[in-house]
Amino acid sequence: MRVHAGDRADDDIAEGPGARVVLALLGAGWVVVLAMYLSHSVVLSADSVNNHVHVWYIARDLWHHGRLPWHMPVLAHGDAYAYPYGFVNWTTAALLWPLFGNWVVTLWTALGAVGCIVATFTAFPELRRGWFAAAVLANPAILEGLLFGQQSFLWGAMLLLFGVAAWRRGHPAWAAILVGLGQANHAAIVLPMGVLLVLYYLPFAPDRRLLLRWYALSCAIALPAVWLVFASPTTQQSTTGSQVTNFFITLGPRIFIVGLPVICVWLRRTGIRALAPLGVALALIAHLGFEIPLNVGQQWSALGHHGTDTAALDAYLRSPQFVPGATYRVLRGGDGKVGLYLVLRAGGRLDSEMFPESMAIRNFHDVADYASLLCERGVDQIVHFDSYDSGRHTNEGAMIDALEARATGGVRLRMITGGPGWKVDTVDRASCPAPGARASAQ
């Protein structure tokens, strides 16, 4: 997979009718999207606030205590880690937190997307012209990584691609370090991508043993991150079947970040000019195919909305009913998880991590099932907005009402404050089994 002189030849395979127009339109589109994205302090998309939570917490420990945190007791009722992934991007963003605050997270996500484009052109210089360059700009994994706020994935993929560039230029040590850091930055997805790239290239490698030795070093660099993937509370809280399903659902769209350039390189090497636009066509088909299943439309809408109404929640967080250090279950819909972030910034703890798999967004069999969740997670208060019920379509609201109506026996809820469309309940967990008893039962 070394760079060949012929790959840089000044030929016209990549050019064709409309290539420059499409490339210019895509370039202009990226300028507009980045400008809109960078106008936000906090982008309320699916995964963006998770970055804010971790960068804020890491910056707090780094700047106030002079250390990088390992555990993150404000999440997952005390069991979370500060770096389930994202060591490179979250740590570097935390260094600049005092200068930019929340906006550094927005900036770092945009840099990750731009970095992936630059890294692709660096790793595959034969794609810098015409239709192939347009395909790189149209790559759905890069654009959707930005829209969803998948900062750690973008930075991991960027490092992986720069590692490919180093390998193709004859710098195996740098390649191993860059690939290792990329895989460590998002071990759950970028490491499998690295494995697939090596397996693809292995039959063509001039020295397979050399390739495998250096790649083994990159995997050794990523080992601590692999351990964190399996040690994460989110992994412990989900079944093996759901983990496998989520893995393939997540990997499928994101594999385009390396798969599309490889396909374009193959198309270019056929020497058939008519095949050049196929990379762009494939990217556009993927965009259309992902639109509904991944709810991409909602992420686009987040670019047009600056903030959300948090007046009621803000008032509660300033009230005597809010207890710093208590564990909260926060149920709000349509706010990009910013409500959870506000509770943390006010001094509360959350019963879950920021991942959907950890947040127990589901229907409960009965009140006993729901009470068991509250006991296991040590929930002290439930902040419940009606928007959660309309957005998530679960029966948790009904479970809350049932436990409020319970007069005696078992876990009970008592409403302590509220207003139109929201309320806060305190949880009486006196009947919950002791933690040691729960562990024995499990």
Residue by residue, DSSP assigns 31-92 as: HHHHHHHHT-SS--STTHHHHHHHHHHHHHHHHHHSS--SEETTSGGGTEES-SS-HHHHHH
Q: What is the pLDDT of residue 8?
A: 44
Alpha helices (H) in 97-239, listed in sequence order = 97-100, 103-123, 130-137, 140-148, 151-168, 172-185, 190-201, 208-231, 233-236
N residues, the chain: 442
Q: What is the pLDDT of residue 1?
A: 46
Q: What is the pLDDT of residue 352?
A: 96
Q: What is the pLDDT of residue 11?
A: 53
Phi, psi values for residue 428, rounded to 5°: -90, 105
Q: What is the pLDDT of residue 60?
A: 97
Contact present, 379 and 331 (Cβ < 8 Å):
no
Residue for token digits 């006196």? 430
Contact present, 333 and 385 (Cβ < 8 Å):
yes
Q: What is the pLDDT of residue 6?
A: 43
Kindly give the interhelix angle for 87-95 and 103-123, rounded to the nearest 10 degrees. Answer: 130
Cα 86 to Cα 354: distance, rounded to the nearest angstrom: 14
Cα 51 to Cα 106: distance, rounded to the nearest angstrom: 9
Cα 148 to Cα 143: distance, rounded to the nearest angstrom: 9
Give the Å distances, CA to CA, from 319 to 127, 315, 324, 337, 416: 58, 6, 11, 21, 11
Cα 382 to Cα 370: distance, rounded to the nearest angstrom: 12
Q: Taking the chain (442 residues) in consecutive chunks of 10 residues, what is each chunk's mean pLDDT? A: 44 80 97 98 95 98 96 95 97 98 98 98 96 98 98 98 98 98 98 97 95 98 95 84 88 97 95 93 97 93 89 97 98 94 98 93 96 97 96 96 90 96 97 66 39
Tokens for 9, please give them. 């030849």
Q: pTM of the prediction?
A: 0.93
Contact present, 251 and 294 (Cβ < 8 Å):
no
Contact present, 347 and 400 (Cβ < 8 Å):
no
Strand-strand pairing, 80-81 and 349-350: unpaired
In 3D space, the residue among 272, 273, 336 whose CA is nearest the CA of residue 310 turns out to be 336
